[in-house]
Amino acid sequence: MNKLIYEGKAKQIYTTDDPDIYLQKFKDDATAFNGLKKDKISHKGEINNTISSVIFEYLASKNIPTHFLKKISDDEMLVKKVDIIKVEVVCRNVAAGSLVKKFGFEEGKDLEKPIIEYYLKSDELGDPLFTDEHIYALGLANKSELDVIRKMALFINDLLLKFFKEKNIRLVDFKLEFGKDKNNNIILADEISPDTCRLWDMETNKKLDKDRFRFDLGEVEESYLEIKNRVAG
Ligand code: TMP
């Protein structure tokens, strides 16, 4: 009945009886460095489903259109069917990750204003950083669509900064994906979780996200659970 139509590194997408609704199932599998490092993080599927559900509900309450419909089991949610726009939108508030590695920023330094970056969503090509011009030339989005995406990403950043601050979490950076629904509206899709965000404890700057897995820092599941407890309490 439910047919698997897409499998990514951390999630599967299934059809449902309703042609406008998909089922998004979160896996325990974790990969890093474009699939070079692979393992499982126990209970990650359940934890990320819960965290993403809470965050999507919060964003919807602030008038952000999202694909989220309903959490239906520990590791599954129903979502609106969308055509994913193959642009990964990264928003950064604090220097970390590739900003440090590629451009020599000092890790942990607050950025004067958020930096938005675009990455081509392509496992084969290793998700390269690219520009608005590449996006138009590849026909992935036009200028007015990318303007909407950029504005939404910055607004989501404002909302999430406040949301996480209340939970004593420093939102360092995160990745968003958008899709087009059946009416061609651009809506937020994918997930928002410790897999797709850098989240540091506000007081100690302890990393509570996938960097613990990427760089073998230990306490991986514990950190994901810590975020779940603070976010979904
Ligand atoms: P980066 O510093 O490695 O470029 O990552 C920026 C943010 O994007 C970070 O919060 C992790 C997230 N991210 C993903 O969600 N998927 C990815 O494939 C990568 C490379 C980063």
Question: What does the pLDDT look like over 99-151, one tens digit per residue?
Answer: 999 999 999 999 999 999 999 999 999 999 999 999 999 999 999 999 999 99
Whole-angstrom distance, CA of residue 48 vs CA of residue 195 = 8
Mean pLDDT of 89-94: 99
Q: Which helix (H) or strand (E) holds 143?
A: helix 143-165
Q: Where are the domains of the chain?
A: 4-80, 83-219
Residues with CB under 6 A from ligand 1: 90, 97-98, 127, 173-175, 196-198
**pLDDT above 80 for 1:** no
pLDDT of 197? 99
**CATH no. for 4-80:** 3.30.200.20
Residue nearest to atom 17 of ligand 1 (CA): 196
Angle between helix 220-232 and 44-61 (nearest 10)? 30
pLDDT value, residue 233: 85
Ligand 1: residue of 115, 173, 212 to mutate (most ligand atoms within 8 A of CB) is 173
Q: How far apart are CA 56 and CA 70, in angstroms?
A: 10
Tell me what pLDDT residue 219 has: 98
* Percent of the chain whose predicted confidence (pLDDT) is above 90: 99
**How confident is residue 68, by pLDDT bands cut at 50, 70 and 90?**
very high
pLDDT given at position 162: 98
Which pair of structure tokens corresponds to residue 147? 């303007």
Please state, in angstroms and rounded to a whole number, the distance separating the CA atoms of residues 92 and 115: 5
Taking the C-alpha atoms of residue 213 and residue 74, their distance in angstroms, rounded to an integer, is 22
Given the CA of residue 127, which atom of ligand 1 is nearest to it?
Answer: 18
**Residues paired with residue 6 on neighbouring β-strands, in sequence order:** 13
Give me the percent of the chain exceeding a pLDDT of 70. 100
Ligand 1 atom nearest residue 210's Cα = 11
Average pLDDT over residues 19-31: 98
137-143 long-range CB contacts below 8 Å, 24 or more apart?
Answer: 140/85, 140/86, 140/87, 141/85, 141/87
For 15-69, the three-class secondary structure string (H helix, E strand, C coil) is ECCCCCEEEEEECCEEEECCCCEEEECCCHHHHHHHHHHHHHHHHHHCCCCECEE
Q: Specify the CATH superfamily of domain 83-219.
A: ATP-grasp fold, B domain (3.30.470.20)
Q: In the predicted model, what is the mean pLDDT of residues 190-200?
A: 98
Q: Kindly indicate the confidence band of residue 217, based on its pLDDT and cuts at 50, 70 and 90.
A: very high
pLDDT of residue 178: 99
What does pLDDT average to over the chain?
98
CA distance to 13, 50, 83, per residue, from 7 (Å): 6, 20, 15
